[in-house]
Amino acid sequence: MYRRALMRLSIACVAVMASFILVSLTESAQVTPLPPVYNPYPLGILPDDLESEIARVRREVNRIFREALAAARAIDPPTLTGQPPTLQGTGYQAVQMLGKILNFDENISPFRNRACGSCHMPYAGFSADRSRPSI
Domain residue limits, the chain: 1-32, 50-124
pLDDT tens readout for residues 25-51 = 666 556 677 888 787 888 888 878 888
| Chain centroid, CA 22 distance in Å | 42
Distance between first and last Cα of the chain: 75
Which pLDDT tens digit goes with each residue over 55-89? 998 999 999 999 999 999 999 888 888 888 888 88
H-helix or E-strand containing 100? helix 91-103
Is the pTM higher than 0.75? The answer reads no
Secondary-structure percent of the chain, ordered helix, strand, coil, rounded to 5: 55, 5, 40
